A and B are shown apart, each in its own frame.
Chain A
Amino acid sequence: GENVEQHPSTLSVQEGDSAVIKCTYSDSASNYFPWYKQELGKGPQLIIDIRSNVGEKKDQRIAVTLNKTAKHFSLHITETQPEDSAVYFCAACGSSYKLIFGSGTRLLVRP
């Protein structure tokens, strides 16, 4: 089955700097890769996703890149703000309906 590894587990950046979170997946058949943001006491919220027929997708300050050959995908946050502080999860669609999640990255943006 699908396995997703996520790095780093914690990331601390200065406000205004960029943050990058990386994930690798094992199942070459996976074709959908969402990123979720989880704030304290809340459920994960979808922030951006990418499908296997696209190499990069941007939405304002966030972007996701996908390298299918290497089975890597990454989340890039530019001009970080304190409200970006949260836990971020990557996921891969290992079947038509099941998302397999990474272990999460705790991002801290220092003002």
Chain B
Amino acid sequence: GAGVSQSPSNKVTEKGKDVELRCDPISGHTALYWYRQSLGQGLEFLIYFQGNSAPDKSGLPSDRFSAERTGGSVSTLTIQRTQQEDSAVYLCASSLWGDIWPGGGDSPLHFGNGTRLTVT
């Protein structure tokens, strides 16, 4: 079946502009995650959605970052007034339900291929 889809795959923007990154999770997956991967680094947690609500926004780096999810499906990550340090690959993942280890069920994270954001 279809995997997690992210668009655009690449985005180049000028410093100070706003950008929107889109994620289409696997159909039926209730949980959605955004991670950021800087060059040569690991994956940094940004935000977690369960349905349309975001019980954990603790990883968002600043108030320039926001995300929403509508219809329990598509999610958009918005970065306002982009800075050069925002340049990274933004990865979206979804899972069947929120608890990765709910006492035995299989609900692994499935990642998209990411959006590579370059701020010039």
Contacts and interface: CB of A to CB of B under 8 A. Distances in A.
Interface of A: 6, 31-32, 34, 36, 41-46, 49, 51, 89, 91, 93, 96-104
A99 B45 contact: yes
Nearest to A1: B58
Contacts of A98: 45, 48, 56
B8 interface: no
Q: Which of A34, A36, A43, A46 has the most CB of B within 10 A?
A: A43
Contact of B108 (A43, A46, A96, A100): A46
Contacts of B12: none
A32 B95 CA distance: 15
Interface string B83-120: 00000000101000011111000001111111000000
A interface, over-half SS: strand
27 contacts: A6-B42, A32-B100, A32-B101, A36-B111, A43-B93, A43-B112, A43-B114, A44-B91, A49-B108, A51-B101, A89-B42, A91-B43, A96-B99, A97-B48, A97-B50, A97-B98, A98-B48, A98-B56, A99-B43, A99-B45, A99-B100, A100-B45, A101-B35, A101-B43, A102-B42, A103-B42, A104-B41
A98 B91 CA distance: 14
Interface of B: 4, 31, 35, 40-45, 48, 50, 56, 91, 93, 98-102, 108-114
A87 to B, nearest CB: 9
B100 A97 contact: yes
Contacts of A34: 108-109
